Structure 1
Amino acid sequence: MRPAAPEDEPALDAFFGHVDAEDLRFRFLSAVRKVDHDQLKAMVTIDHDRTEHFLAFDPASGQIIATAMLAADQSFRRAEVAIAVHRDFKRMGISWTLLDHVAEFARWKGILTLESIESRDNHDAIDLERERGWIASACPGDPTSTILRMTL
């Protein structure tokens, strides 16, 4: 696992081609069919002070198998987390590992609270985050989403 770099854009594009449509909707909270060039570019050319996009690689093939984004607010008190996993690598504990890695990185940065906005239909992510100690609450103004928070 390592932070994304500009040269990762083609591999990231290939990765998102292996993420189920429903998981893309959960990751981007919209009906995304394909992650476009501008979105990919934003993921690999980032402000490393406030945002980090981690990539997890399969050691055998070298392909990206998961991503985790951490985006802090201007005060560095709160940060949002979003994870996506390659369809062939789901249910292997990768999301758990990424969530732990992102939390540890956030602690190192001095961030106090992590948040994840999840579709209420994304039971796997909500269950995972609750198992890791995150607290769920209603998303103000959006009855289709849930906010999960973890105090570091």
Structure 2
Amino acid sequence: MFDVQRSMFNHPIQFLSGPLILRALTPEDTPALLAFFNSHDEETIRMRYGHYRNEMTIDAAKRLTSVDQSRDPALALFTTGRHPEIRAIGRYYLDESGSSGEAAFVVHEKARRNGLAGFLLGELAVLASERGLKELWGTVLPDNHGMAALFLSAGGTETTSPIDEEKVFHLPLDRLLRWRKKFLTAKNIHPVTP
């Protein structure tokens, strides 16, 4: 098994669907983020943002790629090759308490069911643990069964938001880190060796 340390960034990681490169989003990724957003169907956008939005502005993309990675990490999995494309993004936003963060993911329709969201959840858990957090949490629309299943399998506990019907999952990092090791083995996710 492996831990993706900063030295592992920009190295290929093998998934069942093929190798992808893990790295933090940077402002230079703004065009790739716009292309990623524009590749989504209406359902993907609604599941990720909670409502349909037909476009992402350049300013919005710049804000999402220019985050303070030491506070609100945003990781992406890119295709290999001369013109890398984003296949998945995972991030968390640090809560005011400093002990937890809200996690969110989006995976390209063509890359689903390959463990990308679970992999990113595990890597965010490693970063969060290194930074002293105790928990990640996420909100999921009632019909987003895939993300709900991922959070439950990762040891999350489910509650329903009193304001709307969104499900809220709390994932203690100690449980999440134990799950991560099993997940990587089960999905046969590993660094590509030269």
Q: Pick the aligned partner of 1:151 from 153, 172, 177.
A: 172
- Higher mean displacement: 106-115 or 32-41: 32-41
Q: What's the CA shift for 1:113?
A: 1.2
Work out the CA distance in 1 between the residues paired with 2:124 and 2:92. 7
Partner residue, 1:10: 31
Structure 2, gaps ≥5 residues long? 1-21, 174-194
Alpha-carbon offset, residue 24 of structure 1: 1.0
The answer to whether 1:54 aligns with 2:95 is: no
Which aligned pairs between 1:58-97 and structure 2 lie closer than 5 A?
58-60=79-81, 62-97=84-119
How far apart are residue 39 of structure 1 and its match? 2.1
TM-score (structure 1 length as normaliser):
0.93
Distance 2:156 2:79 in 1: 28
The SS at the match of 2:39 is: coil
Which of 92, 113, 134 aligns to 1:112? It is 134
Aligned residues: 151
Cα separation, 2, equivalents of 1:139 and 1:38: 31
CA-to-partner distance for each residue in 1:62-94, whole Å, 9 max, x for gaps?
Answer: 211110111001331110011001111111111
CA distance in structure 2 between the aligned counterparts of 1:140 and 1:37, rounded to whole angstroms:
34
Tell which has more relative contact order, 1 or 2 (C-alpha 8 A, sep 6+).
2
Q: Over aligned residue pairs, what C-alpha RMSD do you find?
A: 1.3
Q: Which amino acid aligns with 1:3?
A: A
Aligned 8 A contact 1:71 1:81 in 2: yes
Structure 1 window deviating more from structure 2 (110-119 vs 69-78): it is 69-78
Q: Percent identity?
A: 28
Max Rg structure: 2
